[in-house]
C-alpha cells in the first residue's frame, strides 16, 4: 500500500516538474506549493505532514543558496499536494467500502 | 555487601573496618561501582559474591517475557524454593549487565520482582546464592523496536 | 508527599509487599533536546525494615526502569510496621512507612 | 449484552422495512461488534475493553505484571488533589461533578442546546472556566490526571452513548465521526478501520494492532512509550502523525465526533480506565 502510494507520488512529481519546469523563480514555486497546500486543506480537510516538511526543506535549501535542490523540493511538495487532493477525491466515496459487511 | 570490596576497604582503612569485617553475615546489599559498572557479568558476580562459577538449576525460577512489550519496562521475577542468601539479575547485552542484587535475610521469601530496561534482544540470567554457591536460570528476551506502538 | 507507594498485605503469615518509587532513573545515556547528555541519576540502594528489623535490601543499576517497582515477601503479620527507604547516587534519600494490612 | 444489542437491532428492523435499507447507528454498531466477535472468536466479548491484550496472551502476561502496581496510580493521586482543590471563588471541580467525580458514563454525550458533542475533558475545562479558573491542556499532564481520577472512580460503569433521534445534528455528528474512522488519510494512506478493523490483530512491523472494539473504554492511559499519561485525543493525534496526516486539534469538532463514534461502537463494554498500555 505504502509502496503503491510512493509510485503514485513519484509519478506526479515527474508530471508536475515538467509542467512548471522553466517558468518563475524558485521562491515563486515554493510559494505556489504552499498556497496549493493551504487550498487543499481548506477544500478537503486533508493535510499531510510530509508536505509541510518538504516545503520547509525547500525553503531551507533556497536560503542556503541551493537553488536546484530547492526547486526540486518545491515540485515534490506540489506533487504531494496533488496526491492529497486525489486521496480526498477518491475517499469521498471509497470510505464506504470499508464498512463491515 | 560484597566481600571483596569489604576486604579492599579493610586494607585501606584498617581499624574502623574491623567491626564491619567482624560481622559479614549482617551485611546488606549495597551499591558499588565494582559490581554495577562492570562490563562483564562474570566480573560483576565475582565482585558481588567473591565467585563467578555458576551452576544452572531448574530450582531457580526466572520469569521474563519471550518478546518484550517495551524494552523500557520489562517485568522480571526470580523465585526459588532453595534457601537463598541473595538474588541477582544479569542482563547480558546491557552496557553493564548487573541490574539488581537483593539480599534475602532469614524469614524473607527467596523472591524478587522488578521491571528492567533492555536496550536490545538479550540473555537474562537470574542468579541465586545458596549455601555459598551460585545457581542460575537464563532465558532470551527479544526486544523489538518500531511499529506504531513502540 | 513521599515518592514511595507501598502496598503490604498479610497473606497467611507471609507479608506480600509491592512498592513503586517515583524516580526518573536517568541512565546517563539519554540526551536532552539540545543534544546535551542528561547526567545519570538513579536509586542505588533500597531497604525495607519491619518493626525495626531489615527484611529486604537491594542495590539497583540504571537498568531498573523509571519509577522502580519492587515486590518481595517476608514473614510478618497484619499490624506490623513496614518502612521502605531509598538513596540515590546524588545522596538524596526518601522513605515511607506503612502499617501492614 | 451482545444478545440485547442484537435484539434491539432486530426489533428496529422488524418495525419498518426501510430501516433495513438505510442503516442507522444501531445497525452500524451491531455489524461493527459482530465483525470483531467473528474475527476473534476466542475473546469473550466483555474482554475487548482490555484493548490489544484481549487478543494477545503473551503481551497480556506482561501487562498484568505492570497492572500489579500500575504507573497510573501516581496520576490518580495527583488528579484527586487537583479535583478537590478549592478555586478562588470557593468552588471546586467537585462542585461540578460531585464528591467522587464518578461521571464517566455521562460522556461523551450530545448536548442538544449547544448542538455539539461534549466529552469529559471538555466538561472539565468548562467547569474550570465557568469558575474563573484557567483551563488545562487537553493532551497530558493535569488534565490526564483529573481524568484518571474521575475514570478510576467510575470503573465498572457501562458505555451507553446515545444518539438522540429527535436531533438530526446528533446523527450528523455521529456520521462525521464514522466517516473519519473509515476514511484513508495521510501519505501512508491508512484509515483507522484499515489498521484497527480489517487488519486488527496483525503485525505492523513489530506491533500488533489493537481491535477498534474497546478503543474508548480505558482512557486516559499511561503509555510506556510516552512514559507518562495521555488522553484519548493525544492518541488520536499520535495515530494521525504515524500515518503522516496532520492531526486535528484536541477537543476540536473532528476528534470529539470521532470519540462519539468509537464510544458508541463500544457500547455495552465497561469503562475501565485509567490503564497501562505499551
- Distance of residue B73 Cα from the nearest chain D Cα, in angstroms: 7
- Whether D189 and chain A come into contact, CB under 8 Å, resolves to yes
Cβ count within 10 A of residue C15: 24
For D205, the closest chain B residue by CA position comes to: B147
* pLDDT at res. C2: 86
Q: How confident is the model at residue B20 (pLDDT cuts 50, 70, 90)?
A: very low
Q: Hey, are the CB atoms on B146 and D209 less than 8 Å from each other?
A: no
Domains and CATH numbers, chain B: 26-143 (2.60.40.2470)
Burial B37-50 (b: 16+ CB within 10 A, else e): ebeebebbbbbbbe
From chain B, pick out residues whose CB is under 8 angstroms from the CB of C62.
117
Q: What is the pLDDT of residues B86-105, one digit of tens each?
A: 999 999 999 999 999 999 99
Q: What whole-number distance in Å separates Cα of residue B140 and Cα of residue D224?
A: 21
* pLDDT at res. B147: 62
Q: What whole-number distance in Å separates Cα of residue D9 and Cα of residue D142?
A: 40
- Whether C81 and chain B come into contact, CB under 8 Å, resolves to no
Q: Write down the pTM of the prediction.
A: 0.83
Q: What is the pLDDT of residues D43-67, one digit of tens each?
A: 999 999 999 999 998 899 999 999 9
* pLDDT at res. A33: 96
- Work out whether strand B54-56 and strand B133-143 pair parallel, antiparallel, or are unpaired: parallel
For chain B, give the percent of residues with pLDDT over 70: 77
* pLDDT at res. B28: 59
- Distance of residue C62 Cα from the nearest chain B Cα, in angstroms: 7
Do C and B touch (≥3 CB pairs < 8 Å)? yes
Do B and A touch (≥3 CB pairs < 8 Å)? no
Active site residue D127: no
From chain B, pick out residues whose CB is under 8 angstroms from the CB of C59.
29-32, 35-36, 100-102
Q: What are phi and psi of C50, to 5 degrees?
A: -125, 125
Q: How confident is the model at residue D8 (pLDDT cuts 50, 70, 90)?
A: very low
Q: Hey, are the CB atoms on B147 and D195 less than 8 Å from each other?
A: no
Are B90 and B97 a contacting pair, CB within 8 Å? Answer: yes
Q: What is the DSSP secondary structure assignment for residue D196, as one 8-state letter?
A: I
Q: What whole-number distance in Å separates Cα of residue C93 and Cα of residue B1?
A: 19
Disruptive mutation site among B35, B80, B87, B114 for chain C (greatest number of C CBs within 10 Å): B114
Q: What is the pLDDT of residues C3-13, one digit of tens each?
A: 999 999 999 99
The mean pLDDT value for D230-236 works out to 97
D195-199's contacts with Cβ under 8 Å and 24+ in sequence apart are D195/B148, D197/A98, D197/A100, D197/D35, D197/D36, D198/A98
* pLDDT at res. C72: 97
Instruction: Report the number of secondary-structure helices (H) and strands (E) in chain D.
Output: 12, 7
**Who among A48, A51, A98 is closest to D191 (CB)?**
A98
Domains and CATH numbers, chain D: 2-69+161-277 (1.10.760.10), 72-153 (1.10.760.10)
Q: What whole-number distance in Å separates Cα of residue B142 and Cα of residue B68?
A: 6
Disruptive mutation site among D71, D76, D145 for chain C (greatest number of C CBs within 10 Å): D71
Written as nine digits, the cell of A94 is 471509497
Q: How far is CA D230 from the centre of its chain?
A: 12
Q: Hey, are the CB atoms on B75 and D59 less than 8 Å from each other?
A: no
Sole residue written with cell 517497582: C69
From chain D, pick out residues whose CB is under 8 angstroms from the CB of B77.
65
For chain D, give the percent of residues with pLDDT over 90: 86
Q: Hey, are the CB atoms on D242 and B150 less than 8 Å from each other?
A: no
From chain A, pick out residues whose CB is under 8 angstroms from the CB of D193.
98
CATH of domain C4-27+41-99: 2.60.40.10
Q: What is the pLDDT of residues C60-79, one digit of tens each?
A: 999 999 999 999 999 999 99
Q: What is the pLDDT of residues D72-124, one digit of tens each?
A: 999 999 999 999 999 999 999 999 999 999 999 999 999 999 999 999 999 99
- Distance of residue D127 Cα from the nearest chain B Cα, in angstroms: 33
- Whether D244 and chain A come into contact, CB under 8 Å, resolves to yes
Disruptive mutation site among D67, D70, D74 for chain C (greatest number of C CBs within 10 Å): D74
Q: What is the pLDDT of residues A30-73, one digit of tens each?
A: 999 999 999 999 999 999 999 999 999 999 999 999 999 999 99
Instruction: Report the number of secondary-structure helices (H) and strands (E) in chain C.
Output: 0, 7
Most confidently predicted of B45-54, C27-36, D31-40: D31-40
Are C66 and C23 a contacting pair, CB within 8 Å? Answer: yes
For chain A, give the percent of residues with pLDDT over 90: 75
pLDDT reading at B22 higher than 60: no
For chain A, give the percent of residues with pLDDT over 70: 78
Q: What is the pLDDT of residues D9-48, one digit of tens each?
A: 443 433 433 434 457 999 999 999 999 999 999 999 999 9
Q: How far is CA D226 from the centre of its chain?
A: 19
Q: How confident is the model at residue D225 (pLDDT cuts 50, 70, 90)?
A: confident
Residue ranges covered by each domain of chain A: 3-18+27-89
pLDDT reading at D7 higher than 50: no
Bridge partner residues of D68 (DSSP): none
* pLDDT at res. B144: 82
Amino acid at each position: 500500500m505504502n509502496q503503491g502510494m510512493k509510485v503514485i507520488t513519484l509519478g506526479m512529481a515527474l508530471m508536475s516538474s515538467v509542467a512548471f519546469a522553466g517558468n518563475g523563480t524558485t521562491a515563486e514555486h515554493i510559494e505556489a506549493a504552499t498556497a496549493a497546500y493551504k487550498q487543499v486543506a481548506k477544500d478537503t480537510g486533508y493535510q499531510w505532514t510530509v508536505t509541510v516538511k518538504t516545503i520547509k526543506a525547500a525553503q531551507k535549501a533556497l536560503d542556503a543558496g541551493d537553488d536546484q535542490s530547492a526547486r526540486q523540493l518545491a515540485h515534490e511538495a506540489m506533487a504531494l499536494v496533488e496526491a492529497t487532493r486525489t486521496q480526498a477525491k477518491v475517499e469521498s466515496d471509497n470510505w464506504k467500502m470499508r464498512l463491515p459487511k | 555487601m560484597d566481600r571483596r570490596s569489604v576486604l579492599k576497604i579493610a586494607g585501606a582503612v584498617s581499624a574502623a573496618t574491623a567491626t564491619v569485617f567482624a560481622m559479614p553475615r549482617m551485611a546488606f546489599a549495597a551499591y558499588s561501582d565494582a559490581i554495577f559498572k562492570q562490563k562483564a557479568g562474570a566480573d560483576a558476580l565475582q565482585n558481588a559474591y567473591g565467585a563467578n562459577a555458576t551452576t544452572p538449576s531448574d530450582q531457580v525460577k526466572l520469569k521474563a517475557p519471550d518478546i518484550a512489550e517495551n524494552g523500557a519496562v520489562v517485568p522480571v521475577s526470580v523465585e526459588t524454593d532453595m534457601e537463598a542468601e541473595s538474588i541477582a539479575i544479569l542482563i547480558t547485552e546491557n552496557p553493564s549487565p548487573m541490574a539488581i542484587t537483593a539480599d534475602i535475610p532469614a524469614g524473607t521469601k527467596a523472591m524478587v520482582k522488578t521491571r528492567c530496561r533492555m536496550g536490545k534482544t538479550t540473555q537474562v540470567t537470574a542468579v541465586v546464592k545458596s549455601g555459598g554457591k551460585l545457581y542460575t536460570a537464563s532465558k532470551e528476551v527479544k526486544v523489538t523496536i518500531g511499529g506504531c506502538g513502540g | 508527599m513521599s515518592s514511595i507507594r507501598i502496598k503490604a498485605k498479610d497473606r497467611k503469615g507471609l507479608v506480600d509487599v509491592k512498592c513503586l518509587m517515583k524516580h526518573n532513573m536517568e541512565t546517563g545515556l539519554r540526551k536532552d533536546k539540545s543534544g546535551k547528555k542528561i547526567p545519570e541519576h538513579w536509586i542505588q540502594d533500597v531497604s525495607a525494615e519491619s518493626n525495626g528489623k531489615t527484611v529486604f535490601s537491594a542495590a539497583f543499576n540504571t537498568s531498573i526502569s523509571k519509577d522502580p517497582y519492587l515486590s518481595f515477601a517476608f514473614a510478618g503479620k497484619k499490624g506490623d510496621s513496614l518502612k521502605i527507604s531509598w538513596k540515590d547516587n546524588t545522596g538524596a534519600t526518601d522513605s515511607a512507612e506503612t502499617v501492614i494490612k | 449484552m451482545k444478545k440485547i444489542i442484537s435484539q434491539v437491532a432486530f426489533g428496529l428492523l422488524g418495525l419498518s422495512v426501510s430501516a433495513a435499507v438505510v442503516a442507522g447507528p444501531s445497525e452500524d454498531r451491531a455489524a461493527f461488534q459482530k465483525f470483531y466477535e467473528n474475527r476473534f472468536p476466542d475473546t469473550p466479548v466483555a474482554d475487548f475493553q482490555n484493548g490489544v491484550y484481549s487478543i494477545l496472551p503473551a503481551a497480556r502476561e506482561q501487562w498484568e505484571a505492570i497492572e500489579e502496581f500500575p504507573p497510573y496510580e501516581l496520576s490518580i493521586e495527583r488528579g484527586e488533589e487537583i479535583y478537590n482543590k478549592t478555586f478562588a471563588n470557593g468552588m471546586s471541580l467537585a462542585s461540578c461533578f460531585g464528591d467522587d467525580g464518578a461521571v464517566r458514563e455521562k460522556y461523551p454525550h450530545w448536548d442538544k442546546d449547544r448542538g455539539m458533542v461534549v466529552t469529559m475533558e471538555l466538561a472539565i475545562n468548562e467547569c474550570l472556566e465557568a469558575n474563573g479558573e484557567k483551563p488545562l491542556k487537553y493532551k497530558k499532564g493535569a488534565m490526564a490526571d483529573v481524568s484518571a481520577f474521575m475514570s478510576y472512580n467510575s470503573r465498572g460503569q457501562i458505555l451507553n452513548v446515545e444518539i438522540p433521534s429527535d436531533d438530526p445534528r446528533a446523527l450528523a455528528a455521529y456520521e462525521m465521526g464514522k466517516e473519519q474512522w473509515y476514511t484513508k488519510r495521510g501519505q501512508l494512506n491508512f484509515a483507522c478501520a484499515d489498521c484497527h478493523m480489517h487488519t486488527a490483530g496483525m503485525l505492523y512491523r513489530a506491533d500488533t494492532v489493537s481491535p477498534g472494539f474497546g478503543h474508548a473504554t480505558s482512557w486516559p492511559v499511561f503509555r510506556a512509550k510516552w512514559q507518562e499519561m495521555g488522553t484519548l485525543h493525544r492518541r488520536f493525534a499520535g495515530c494521525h502523525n504515524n500515518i503522516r496526516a496532520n492531526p486535528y486539534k484536541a477537543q476540536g469538532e473532528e476528534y470529539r465526533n470521532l470519540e462519539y463514534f468509537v464510544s458508541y461502537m463500544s457500547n455495552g463494554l465497561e469503562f475501565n480506565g485509567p490503564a497501562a498500555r505499551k
